[in-house]
Chains A and B, each alone.
Chain A
Amino acid sequence: MMDTAMISWTAFEPILPEILLVCIALAVIGLDLFAEKQRQLLPWLTVLGCVTVLGMVAGVQNGSAFNGMFLTDSYASFFKIICLLGVIMTALMSEHSRRVEGEMQGEYYGLMLFSAVGMLIMASAGDLMILYLGLELMALSVYCLVGMHKNDPRTSEAAMKYFLMGGFASAILLFGMSLVYGLTGTTNIAKIGAITASGELLHNPALMAALGLMIVAFCFKVAVAPFHFWVPDVYEGAPTPITAFMSVGPKAAGFAVFGRVLMSGFPQFNDQWGTLLAVLALLTMAIGNITALSQRSIKRMLAYSAIAHAGYALLGILSGTAEGLSATMSYLLIYGFMNMGAFAVLILLSAPGNRHESLDDYKGLAKTNPVAAILMLIFMFSLTGIPPTAGFIGKFYLLKAALAAGYTMTVIGAVIFSAISAYFYLRVVRYMYMSEPQEQLDISYSPGISAVLGLALLGVIGLGLLPGAMIGRAASVLLGQ
């Protein structure tokens, strides 16, 4: 009996960051319950916790726990860094906007941290079960976060839509996973990879179906067309910090499992899924960029831009090479900074009675609020992908990886759509700088929002001018090591 009860504590070492994050989440909820007067500390506690976890993730040894179910390889830690940065910036933004809107602080930050735990687990998942566990933990928390303003019909609708569509996608994912299990007899991704690579399942239609189902579910999670229909409504309806959060954290986590399952579970089928994803990527870029052209609300425009950027990020995955993966990873990190920055400006401008999300509200912003305008300008140019901002570095790396893998036509398509995207990103700049202001917007910089803007600016300019370290780290990433 003693033998089975013996627990090797060192086995827990790889998941210490996740455990700590759960503790912080519980502490946040506890603080909210028992120390009502100290609620303004919650965002800072969240940030502090995430920074600590970030440090732990960066320092954690490469290895695996629980018989390869949980992997702490360099791949996982890169994605964890992206997700945690996303949470940190969201919490800082929320410090600003919750101060304005403020209900249910504890639940808000608690759920955000739980979803972060889910994302970290997804990034580390070496097993389909763990993957699903992380995915659901993340998704359920985000469903609630989207519907946080329960009195606002817009957010309730968004939450409902997101929940229904998300549940549907999860079911499809489970269906695909169960087929894979039936065919291979294992849920361990690396073992699945070994079995599929052996070639006996090469022409098995059931395996193809399973792969297809899983790809559909992942495409849903990362907002790839034609599974993107939930995105505009949910992004527009959700509280703005949560929209920013969704476009960075869950998306990065989604790409983490997307890449790992395809690259380490089905490397043999690269030709099949590569071609499929190339078509989907082009479709995504087309729909995202072309629909964004006609949006009058900046928030909705950014939602379509998020779809388009999912298409770009897919370029790395579909090339099926190590370089492609590192390109996607670098891109998601960069995208995190620039998109968070853009949303932070959006939050900065929103006032209690009026969210100021229309393009017209940005007219003449350069005159009334020059600092906000110049920041928005930098983020917009970065989203367009103009050097010397980081957006260019990310896009360049993706194009390079996809070209090296031989997807020339896809790359040409990507380039054309990214030129189209210049039109609507620059329209924001045009409105800010080349139109007369309509009304005076009073904005105040809280410490949180200033920190996000500073961080995003640092990321966009810093990674644009000195991307060497980031690309070096991304390029050295290996699955399972």
Chain B
Amino acid sequence: MSVPLLSTLIFFPVIGALSLLLVDGKEVRTIRVMALIISLIELLLALPLWFLFDKSTYLMQFTEQHAWIPALNINYSLGIDGISILFILLSALITTLSILVSWESIRTKVKEFFIAVLLLEGAMIGVFCALDFFLFYIFWEAMLIPMFLIIGIWGGPNRIYATVKFFLYTLIGSLLMLIGIITLYAQGGHTFDILKLAEQTFPIKLQMMLFWAFFAAFAVKVPMWPVHTWLPDAHTEAPTAGSVILAGILIKMGAYGFLRFSMPILPDATQAMMIPMIVLSLIGIIYGGVICLAQTDLKRLIAYSSVSHMGFVTLGLYALNPQSVEGGILQMINHGVVTGALFLCIGMVYERTHTRVIADYGGLATTMPVFASFFLLFTLASVGLPGTNGFIGEFLILLGSFITRPWIAVFAATGLILGAWYMLWLYQRLFFNAVNDKVLNLPELNRREIITLVPMVLLIFWIGLYPNALLSFMHESVTHLLNQVYGTPEAISQVSTLIMR
């Protein structure tokens, strides 16, 4: 009998969170250490996935299936392929880092905070493992509760507005998706099994309806223009750990949803909506970039840069050829790492200054040189300097979309230029210029903070120099996905030969 690895990964943090309940709330140090240990064990538990994963197949692995609500044919069914495995590992890593970064910045209701983070981790991993649409929806919505609390309780001054907006936006989108899921169940032979649903062909009219129902949930989560407006508020007001998890994992789930549900289940609608989706992505890329130039708030700027970067991701996915889709998935990971790291950095400096206004900074490079080096690295990765991971992702997306339609790449490249502009300008305003009085005597990063940032640096260079480590996981799954979208393997090979030329 094999170990139900995925169930363990989902429920270990939940059990860990429950065990924290038993600790006295005043034992702050014990709680922090326990939370960290739980998240580290979780990370260790996730590692076997990496080594045991069979890269030569697109089939679901580590599958588990149990009847859950037999009367409605709902199963507790889990499994991962080359796409979801990466996000599970990323979730485990990001959670650990956000626990580390919250070490001192969370001072009130410490126990509740770590419980919320761990519960969130369980739900996030559940989202990436679920192979039953109903189960997926349960995890998808369950994430809302801890996130609502994390932003609302430990967030900034305007937190309540931000968290309610986040909750309502996501809830409306999700509920519309729920109607889509139920319709799919009714039309698709009374099953919620994602793989079985993907095997069927639905009439195009129904596909279009379902496409929009799913779009409501996924596009809000990504967030795509024009339903992105919750993101700047949520990102800005959330505590550092919340921002990191939001940027690192939560908003990836929207794109993951498109990959896992919209594309394989609704292939005709996906092809039909390709150009509109690309146009929305391009608007997001350029709009996000331009808005970034006008930001005076540090976190808000990074939040809008997420809108722009996630535009690249959806562009890659909907350019619908192997390069761009792989690039899109890789860029999801990259964005999680880089933007997560940037939010970590901002959290660290915010703890020292308690201001997010860019104008309050200046000359940080002289007062905090180590910090400046880290930030520079992350900035360059965000801009997509060759050698860093950002370059690989963006390059693949541009390549793929150029093959699909050359004009797409032209507009997307504009976004890259904007990206370099606002990020480097931000770096200049924060770290160079005259030393601002407010940052005169800031202490340098301590050891815990450096430990938090180092994994991100390693990831940036590892992916940047040897992207195949991650790409090799997704080849088979992406090929299979595109086969599903285009219907036949021949069609996909045509697209590939086009690339070879």
Contacts and interface: CB of A to CB of B under 8 A. Distances in A.
Contact of A415 (B70, B144, B179): B179
Nearest to A433: B153
Contacts of A466: 68
Interface string A451-481: 0000000000000001110011011100000
A418 interface: yes
B476 interface: no
A236 B134 CA distance: 38
Nearest to B209: A408
Contacts of A366: 109, 112
Contact of A399 (B134, B160, B178): B178
A387 B142 contact: yes
B434 interface: no
B172 interface: yes
Contact of B153 (A399, A403, A434, A475): A434
Interface string A335-378: 00000000000000000000000000000001000100000000
Given A386-B141, A388-B142, A468-B69, A426 B148 contact: yes
B183 A433 contact: no
A403 B168 contact: no
A415 B141 contact: no
A388 B142 CA distance: 6
A75 interface: no
B69 A387 contact: no
Contact of A392 (B109, B138, B172): B138
Given A386-B144, A399-B182, A400-B182, A418 B175 contact: yes
B179 A403 contact: yes
Contact of B167 (A387, A396, A400, A426): A426
Interface string B135-164: 001110110110011001100000110001
A404 interface: yes
Contacts of A381: 145
A422 B171 contact: yes
| Nearest 3 A/B pairs, CB to CB | A475-B71, A387-B138, A415-B175
B459 interface: no
B149 A403 contact: no
Contacts of B137: 387
B185 A400 contact: yes
Given A430-B160, A471-B69, A475-B71, A403 B183 contact: yes
A28 to B, nearest CB: 39
B179 A399 contact: yes
Given A396-B134, A475-B71, 5 more contacts: A396-B182, A403-B182, A404-B186, A429-B148, A468-B68
Contacts of B175: 415-416, 418-419
A411 B168 CA distance: 18
B495 interface: no
A399 B174 CA distance: 14
Interface of A: 366, 370, 381, 386-388, 392, 396-397, 399-400, 403-404, 408, 411-412, 415-416, 418-419, 422-423, 426, 429-430, 433-434, 466-468, 471-472, 474-476
B176 interface: yes
Given A403-B179, A426-B148, A472 B141 contact: no
B212 to A, nearest CB: 12
B160 A403 contact: no
A392 B168 contact: no
A10 B276 CA distance: 72
B69 A419 contact: no
B138 A471 contact: no
Nearest to A406: B186
B67 interface: yes
A430 B179 CA distance: 28
22 contacts: A386-B144, A386-B145, A386-B171, A387-B141, A388-B142, A392-B138, A396-B134, A400-B186, A403-B186, A408-B179, A416-B175, A419-B171, A422-B167, A422-B168, A426-B164, A429-B152, A433-B152, A433-B153, A468-B70, A472-B71, A474-B71, A476-B71
B446 to A, nearest CB: 30
B72 interface: yes
Contacts of B164: 423, 426, 430
Contacts of B172: 415-416, 419
Contacts of A472: 69-71
Contacts of A476: 71
Contacts of A426: 148, 164, 167
Contacts of B167: 422, 426
B179 A411 contact: yes
Contact of B142 (A386, A396, A416, A474): A386
B227 to A, nearest CB: 14
Contacts of B159: 434
Which of A392, A411, A416, A468: most chain B Cβ within 10 A?
Answer: A468
A434 to B, nearest CB: 5
Contacts of B109: 366
B179 A471 contact: no
Contacts of A474: 71
A418 B175 CA distance: 9
A422 to B, nearest CB: 5
